[in-house]
A = this chain, B = another copy of it.
């Protein structure tokens, strides 16, 4: 390779250094362990899907951000190509939900019914690169396909709060609302059905804007003044503080009734099962972005991260069955994996539950076998052990090792035993049997 080739990763993508890669692995393993405990099964789909699938409408705005793959061989006829569709047939997935719909349609005969699926994997979006957002990032989704009852929502919430708790994210709050309740609210207020989405976009900012700002934004979007006034009054009276019964008695609509019954049961059952481990609250201003939700929607916030939610999901009964041509009830929950890893990196600094040792040896040592035996002895004690040629300056070598996450060095003594020296600030907790 020529020396001129740029060595940066592609624009908006990044290399993961060892400490972060190990944190990512550990976080993924913890999440998977908890979800599997709840009976979720790991599945995998290819990174590439047909553009026909990816642009089929299930991805909303993300469909504009697809990395498209050039046709290959005879299928690519440059001279006849008039549009992108003539050039590309595949694309990198932009989420794990559209592939899940295809996977389920293709494989449902071989899958458990209902299917509890867990996916962790990369997705790609050709977004304008910005701080902390990358064009390749990892998503972590659980989905329950085939359960119409709210037991699905309850399981998703219990499993996800347990996973986040085991990761060490403190003080979790689940906020929950229902798309049917939002629709009933907008109808009751008098907003035109085809303008509901616009109302929800403003409502979604309720906790960031003042009531006057909400009112102004709705007016500027062209909504009728009486509807705006009714909505402001409703939220003043029945939604702040959030009160499900007050909301139900105000709205009256049967769809609101069903939503409120579901939400009440989910909140009551989850709150009892949580036993104080986390909070769950009705939040009538919760909207969630994706258009495909049809029932309960929920988000989780943590005191470890003030700037937004760390997981979100809901019921989306319409989408999965589309490819199959039948109704498939579906609920899902997605952990913001990249955000969670960021938070953990700041919280923990480094993991203390493993010890990394450099076993120093002389390159010209006559007894390499003895060095290897000492290394195995240390490994059998649970240490991560790399061999390291002894440098002339032991001080510089120790400093470099410490910088790269080593906890100590070892040497081989006259009897062929490993002698361990921990670095000053890295003395590990006593192990059973390792001290007198």
Contacts and interface: CB of A to CB of B under 8 A. Distances in A.
B386 A116 contact: yes
Nearest to A265: B368
B10 A50 contact: yes
Given A46-B136, A323-B1, A17 B58 contact: no
Contact of A102 (B7, B18, B105, B112): B7
B106 A39 contact: no
Interface stretch (A62-70, A182-190, A231-239, A428-436): A62-70
A213 interface: no
A90 interface: yes
Interface stretch (A148-156, A199-207, A330-338): A148-156
A56 B5 contact: yes
B322 A101 contact: no
Size range of the interface on A?
Answer: 35 or more
Contacts of A56: 1-2, 5
A8 interface: yes
A101 B1 contact: yes
A350 interface: no
A369 interface: yes
Given A41-B22, A52-B5, A90 B10 contact: yes
A45 B9 contact: yes
Contact of A387 (B44, B105, B151, B379): B151
B323 A154 contact: no
A383 to B, nearest CB: 8
Contacts of A124: 47-48
A17 B110 contact: yes
A342 interface: no
A36 interface: yes
A81 B84 contact: no
Given A70-B87, A384-B36, A15 B43 contact: yes
Interface in A1-29: 1-3, 5-10, 13-18, 21-22, 24-25, 29
A142 B368 CA distance: 22
A75 to B, nearest CB: 11
B379 A38 contact: yes
Given A41-B18, A151-B387, A372-B154, A47 B47 contact: yes
Nearest to A378: B37
Nearest to A84: B70
A130 interface: no
Interface of A: 1-3, 5-10, 13-18, 21-22, 24-25, 29, 32, 36-50, 52-53, 56-58, 67-70, 72, 76, 78, 81-84, 87-88, 90, 92, 101-103, 105-107, 110-113, 116-117, 122, 124, 126, 136, 147, 149, 151, 154-155, 158, 269, 272-273, 319, 322-325, 356, 358, 363, 368-369, 372-373, 376, 379, 384-387, 389, 400-401, 404
Q: Which 8 A-B pairs have the closest CB atoms?
A: A39-B386, A18-B41, A16-B44, A13-B46, A1-B56, A7-B106, A112-B404, A21-B42
28 contacts: A1-B57, A5-B56, A5-B102, A6-B52, A8-B106, A9-B102, A9-B106, A16-B45, A17-B110, A21-B41, A22-B42, A24-B44, A38-B385, A38-B386, A39-B356, A39-B386, A47-B47, A48-B124, A67-B70, A67-B72, A76-B84, A111-B404, A151-B368, A158-B372, A269-B368, A269-B372, A273-B369, A273-B373
